[in-house]
Amino acid sequence: MTTEFPDRPYQKIAADLFHFQGKEYLLTIDYYSRFFEIDHLQNTTSKTVILKLQKHMSRLSIPEVFVSDNGTQFSSSEFKEFAKEWGFEHRTSSPGYPQSNGLAEKGVGIAKKLMQKAKDTNTNIYIALLEYRNTPLECGYSPSQLLIGRRTKSVVPVTNKALVPILVNNSKVRSLMKKSKDKQKVNYDKNAKYLPPLSLNQSVRIKIGKTWKRGKIVKVHSDRSYHIQLADGSIYRRNRSVLRKSPEDTTDIESFHAQVLYHDKNSSTPELPLEENNSSQEQSDPPMNSRARTRAGRLLRGNPKYDNNEWVR
């Protein structure tokens, strides 16, 4: 899913913190112009980050939407109060899925390359930033032209005519940027698979580390982001890419918790439900064609240490 291209500069911005050469920095980038700022942070508290953002917004405009990850700097009550007071919507990416804040991540990659090259060539980083901001994008305009309507003078020789303010053709910019996004989507979708949306109370498996755990959808945060409650009562927010549909019934969350905790305690493979035994009938092995198999075709058997005659579905 590609992000919608804004109608104007600084309508939607994103931010991310990054580490370089033992120091912490804040990157703030505009979705429309791709113009970004780099700020050195003495510390990574909410107060320091808010002060840097206030300076940018006072110069360039208060955005309608601000996008970030779920770092403590952005999830604090202090930042929520800042967003409320300045009147912008704060959106956060799914935890563990930085791709949903892709523009800021891309900006961090560019910033680090510029800073490293500036260090290797003993060049001032602000000169490097100046040249980047004067470099045309896919739409033919540079970040400086898109944001402030003109190119900026740098150490590279340029005529006075080239520095004269221009009127940016907004419809042309939107058309060309959309075309570029569509091309990226086509290339990405060649190796991607469509994942259907999930609904409330749906049983899922959530990937935590290297383990897939059983859970239940308790809140739909956005088109691709969900809140999942596990058997121990803990709630996680995750992107659809790390969630898998599960046929297990979790309608009754209390009995679901008890069932999972029981299997976690008594079985080495608790993730899959065991077939119920019929005490009125003699236990027997199920037919060969009804037994569950692995992807390689091997039959799955129950652990005789715990349930001698049960078969794993």
pLDDT one-digit tens code per residue, 27-46? 999 999 999 999 999 999 99
Which pair of structure tokens corresponds to residue 77?
Answer: 């009550």
pLDDT exceeds cutoff 70 at 187? yes
Confidence at residue 278, expressed as pLDDT on a 0 to 100 scale:
41
d(CA 254, CA 13): 42
- Binning pLDDT at 50, 70 and 90, where does residue 310 land? very low
Block residue for tokens 């290297």: 210
Beta strand pairing call for 36-41 and 23-30: antiparallel
d(CA 27, CA 7): 22
- The dihedral through the CA atoms of 111, 116, 117, 123 has a sign that is positive
pLDDT exceeds cutoff 70 at 284? no
Q: Do domains 12-189 and 203-273 have the same CATH topology?
A: no
d(CA 293, CA 272): 13
Block residue for tokens 């100046």: 130
> Which CATH architecture group holds 203-273?
Roll (2.30)
For the chain, what is the mean pLDDT?
81
The larger pLDDT score, comparing residue 281 to residue 113, is at 113
84-120: per-residue pLDDT in tens?
999 999 988 877 776 777 889 899 999 999 999 999 9
The larger pLDDT score, comparing residue 254 to residue 13, is at 13
Please, are residues 60 and 146 in contact by the beta-carbon 8 Å criterion?
Answer: no
pLDDT exceeds cutoff 70 at 58? yes
Confidence at residue 268, expressed as pLDDT on a 0 to 100 scale:
46
Average pLDDT over residues 189-218: 84
Average pLDDT over residues 193-219: 84
Beta strand pairing call for 203-208 and 211-220: antiparallel
Backbone angles phi, psi at 235, to 5 degrees: -120, 130
d(CA 167, CA 149): 6
Query: Among the residues of 250-299, which ranges form H helices?
Result: 253-266
**What Cα–Cα distance (Å) separates residue 25 from each residue in 41, 206, 217, 227, 301?**
5, 32, 36, 30, 54
Confidence at residue 18, expressed as pLDDT on a 0 to 100 scale:
94
pLDDT exceeds cutoff 80 at 288? no
- Binning pLDDT at 50, 70 and 90, where does residue 244 land? confident
Q: Where are the domains of the chain?
A: 12-189, 203-273, 282-313
CATH topology assigned to domain 12-189: Nucleotidyltransferase; domain 5 (3.30.420)
Confidence at residue 255, expressed as pLDDT on a 0 to 100 scale:
55
Please, are residues 91 and 66 in contact by the beta-carbon 8 Å criterion?
Answer: yes
- Flag the least confident range among 43-47, 69-73, 290-294: 290-294
- Angular region, 12: left φ>0, alpha ψ -120 to 50, beta rest: beta
d(CA 108, CA 190): 26
- Flag the least confident range among 130-134, 140-144, 291-295: 291-295
Confidence at residue 78, expressed as pLDDT on a 0 to 100 scale:
95
Find which of 56-65, 67-76, 90-99, 203-212 is predicted with most confidence, using mean pLDDT: 56-65
